[in-house]
Amino acid sequence: MKKDQRPSYDHVPMVVIKRLPKYYRYLGELVEKKLERISSQKLAQMMDISASQLRQDLNHFGEFGQQGYGYRVEDLYQEIGKIIGLEYQYNMVIVGAGNLGRALANYSNFCLRGFCLWALFDIDPELVGLNVNGIGIKDISELHDFVADNNISIGIITVPKEAAQGVADRLVAAGVKGIWNFAPVDIKVPDSIILENEHLADSLMVLSFRLRGKMG
């Protein structure tokens, strides 16, 4: 008998994937409001997208609605959570215990959602040994063993851009499966490693572009 296997959802376009968290967010609010069901029409209106897009997006992953009735809010919320992969626990480390690294470490909500931070790393001896939100800052030399020994699957990079590629290489060598990069540079990783960039300065530039016409 074939082992129960998770669907792979290959061929689902990335634009669709990027909308999943938004669906999850809105459904979460509806769950809190104890709403039992909702139509694609109404949900789409709330989210300021088209009902067609909403239904088509969901249909990439299965048939979750009932004709003439709509979607059961709680069920759909759970299903999307599973699709996103939120039933897993992801163990994480942050490399770079500067302001941003420490800010992320303090954002303890992540851990509640299955994204669990176990350590920060830094090269600065002044920082090593300190504690952020109950999480220790270790010397970068300990990175490899810590990642390997503690089943760390995500490495978060919050170092200056000059150091980012080196850190990425070390994280990959140590065995992380994914990298969340906040350094303002495009790092290179093997195809098998999942890379998500958070280029804050880029967003600010997009804001700048869009503001141009409105400036004094």
Partner DNA sequence: CAAATATTGATATATATTTATCAATGATTA
Partner DNA sequence: TAATCATTGATAAATATATATCAATATTTG
| Of the candidates 182, 126, 173, the residue with the CA atom closest to the CA atom of residue 147 | 173
DSSP structure class, residue 128? T
Single out the residue of 83, 128, 159, 168 in contact with its own copies (rule: CB under 8 A): 83
| Interacting partner of 166 out of DNA, its own copies, none (Cβ under 5 to 8 A depending on kind) | none
Which of 45, 52, 133, 151 is close enough to bind DNA by CB under 7 A? 52
* 180 scored as a contact of its own copies (CB under 8 A): yes
Half-sphere exposure of 10 (CA within 13 A, CB side): 0
Q: Decide which of its own copies, DNA, none touches 84; Cβ closer than 5 to 8 Å per partner kind.
A: its own copies
* Residue 125 or 209 with smaller CB distance to DNA: 209
- Rule CB under 8 A: is residue 84 a binding residue for its own copies? yes
Single out the residue of 8, 32, 34, 67 in contact with DNA (rule: CB under 7 A). Answer: 67
How many other β-carbons are positioned within 10 Å of the β-carbon of residue 73?
Answer: 21
Strand partners, 119: 93
Neighbouring residues of 84: CB distance < 8 A, sequence distance ≥ 6: 20, 21, 24
Structure tokens at 8: 């792979």
CA 49 to chain centre: 22
CA 31 to CA 143: how far, in whole Å? Answer: 40
Does 165 help bind DNA (rule: CB under 7 A)?
no
Partner whose binding site includes residue 68, from DNA, its own copies, none (CB under 5 to 8 Å by kind) = DNA
Among candidate residues 170, 180, 104, 108, the one with its CA nearest the CA of residue 139: 170
45/141 with CB nearer its own copies:
45
Residue 71 contact among its own copies, DNA, none, beta carbon within 5 to 8 Å by kind: DNA
CB of 147 to DNA, least distance (A): 33
- Tell me which amino acid residue 134 is: G
Residue from the set 13, 21, 129, 166 that interacts with its own copies by CB under 8 A? 21
Q: Does residue number 58 form part of the binding site for DNA (CB under 7 A)?
A: yes
- Binding partner of residue 210 among DNA, its own copies, none, CB cut-off 5 to 8 Å per kind: its own copies
Instruction: Give CA torsion, residues 34, 38, 43, 46, to 10 deg.
Output: -50
CA dihedral 43, 46, 47, 48 (to 10 degrees): 120
17 binds its own copies (CB under 8 A): yes
Is 211 a binding residue for its own copies by CB under 8 A? The answer is yes
Residues of this chain that interact with DNA (CB under 7 A) are 13-16, 39-41, 49-53, 55-56, 58-59, 63-71
